[in-house]
Amino acid sequence: MRTRTKVLTWVGIGVPVLVGAAGAAYATYYHDRALPGSSVVGIDVAGLTRDEVANALRAKADGVVIDIKLPDGHKQASLADLGTAVDVDATLARVFSANEDWSSYAKALRESRPVAVVTTADRTKLSAFLTDLGESYARRPVDATVSLAKNKESFTVSPGVAGRSLEATGLADIAAQAAASLTSSAATTSLVDREPEVTTAEAKALADKANAVVQTAAEMTAGERTFAPSEAEKASWVTLPADVAAAPEVDAAKVTAWVAAQVKSIDTAPTSGMRYLTSTGTLLRVITPASDGIQVTNSAAVAKSLTAALDGGKDTTATVKTKVLPATWTERTLAAGAENLAYPAVAGEKWVDVNLSAHTMTPYVGGKAAASTVKMVHGAKDTPSDVGTFHIYMKNPLMTMTGQNADGTDYETPDVPWSSFYNGGEALHGAYWRKTWGYAASHGCINLPIPTAKWIYDWAPIGTPVVVHN
C-alpha cells in the first residue's frame, strides 16, 4: 500500500507540473497568432500571425469578382471598382481580440471561433462606376418646351423625348455580400425608360393656356375710335412660367406701354390762335384759328382693365375717358383806322407802308399817317423789292453801296445818305441821283428824296415794322 501511495502522490504532483509547462508553451506560441479554431468566413487562420492573416484576407478579397450582365455582354468588376473593400485592420482586430483574454486560450482547444469580415462601402465611387458603365447605353430625356411660333402670333410645342438609363438593381448589396463572404458573385442590369420632367401633354396644356390669352379680345375705345392689339402684340405680353403646371401671366408693364402708345394718338395739345380786334373790342378777323385739345385721364385704369381681362381670358372693351384742354388766343387790338391798312398796327405803333403798286411810301402811327405820302422808286423788274413785313434793324447816315446789276456786273454807289436797313441789303435811303419818282428802277432798295429819307431815319427807331406790298 505504501508503494502505491507514493506513486499516486507523485502522479498527483507531476501532472499539474506537466500541464503548466505545456500551457505556458501553448500561450507563448499563440500570443501573436490566431488561436486554434479561428476562421474568417471559412478560411482557417489558426496559428497564423497578423501579417499572415492580413495577407490571406487581401489575397482572398482581390480574387473576388462581380460578373455584371449587360444588355450586350458581360463586365467583371472587382470590389475596389464598386467602392467596396475589406477592412483588414478591423477584421484583424476581431480575430485577435480573443488573445487578450486568457480564458479564450482554453476555449480555443474545444470550440471553433468563426469571425465575420468587416467591410466598407464608398457610395460615391460606386455611383461613378455605374455612370461610366451606363454611358454608352444612357440617353438623357428631353423636356417638352413651349415657345413663340415663327409668326409670333401664337405658342407652339416642341415634344418631349423619353430617355433611358442602365439600372443595376441591388449592385451595392451584392458587392457588400460578396465582400462579407469573400466569394465572387453576379449581378444583372437592365435598360429602363426615363420620362422627361416636362411631358408633351403638360407642355401642350401650357401652350393652350397661353394661346387662350392671345385669342382674348381686349380693346379700348375713345369716342368712335377703337384700338385693339394684334395677336403678335398680345403674344409678346405673355410670360411663360417656369412651372408648366402654373398659368401664364400677362406682363402689365407691356400692356401699360401699349396703352400709352395709343393714348399718344388720342391726346391732342390745344393750339393757340391769333385774332384781331377793333379798337372797340369787336372781333375783326381770325388770323390763325385756335382749337381745343384732348387729354386722356384714365390710361392707368384702362391698362389695368385690359391686363385683368387677358389674365382671366375674358373679352373686354375698356372705355377711354378724356377731358378738354381749352384753346388759347393771342389777341391784337388794332388802332382806330388800321382795320383796312396793310399792317395791323396797335395804337401808338410806328410803322412804314411801302406800296409797290402805287410807288408810294407812307409813315404811320397806329391807323393815322404821321406824314404825307411820298412817291418813291423801288426795285426794277429784274431786281425787285421783296414783299413782306420786315423790321428796321440797322442804320447808316452815309455809306458806299455795292452790289451786282441784273446782268451780273458790279456797281458801286458812294455817299448814299440816311439808310435804314430792314431786309438784308434792302433799305429806305436817300437817292441824290434821282430827279423823278414813282416808278421801278432800283436794285431792290426804296429810293427816297433825301429830306424824306432823313425824316424816316430820325423818326423810325430800330425795330420799326416796314410793310412792303402790292
Backbone angles phi, psi at 75, to 5 degrees: -140, 135
Q: Label residue 236 left, alpha or beta by phi (over 0 means left) and psi (-120 to 50 means alpha).
A: alpha
Residue 72 cell numbers, joined:
450586350
Query: Cα–Cα distances in Å, from 429 out to 223, 381, 443, 454?
Result: 61, 19, 12, 8
Backbone angles phi, psi at 234, to 5 degrees: -65, -40
Does residue 447 contact residue 375 with C-beta atoms inside 8 Å? no
Assign 468 to helix, strand or coil.
strand
Q: Which of 378, 391, 443, 445 is catalytic?
A: 445
Strand segments (E) across 185-241: 185-188, 190-194, 218-222, 225-227, 238-239
Q: Which of 74, 378, 429, 469 is catalytic?
A: 429
Separation between Cα atoms, residue 27 and residue 18, nearest integer Å? 14
Does residue 301 contact residue 268 with C-beta atoms inside 8 Å? no
Query: Cα–Cα distances in Å, from 449 out to 382, 395, 433, 452?
Result: 23, 17, 10, 5
Separation between Cα atoms, residue 181 and residue 188, nearest integer Å? 19
Does residue 237 contact residue 231 with C-beta atoms inside 8 Å? no
Separation between Cα atoms, residue 415 and residue 422, nearest integer Å? 19
> Residues with Cβ < 8 Å from 271, sequence gap 6 or more?
289, 290, 291, 293, 327
74 is annotated as an active-site residue: no
469 is annotated as an active-site residue: no
> Residues with Cβ < 8 Å from 273, sequence gap 6 or more?
286, 287, 288, 289, 290, 291, 327, 328, 329, 330
* Terminal Cα distance for the chain, rounded: 185
Sign of the alpha-carbon dihedral angle for 281, 283, 285, 290: positive
Query: Cα–Cα distances in Å, from 64 out to 38, 79, 186, 281?
Result: 22, 7, 11, 120
Separation between Cα atoms, residue 94 and residue 261, nearest integer Å? 85
- The residues carrying an active-site annotation are 429, 445
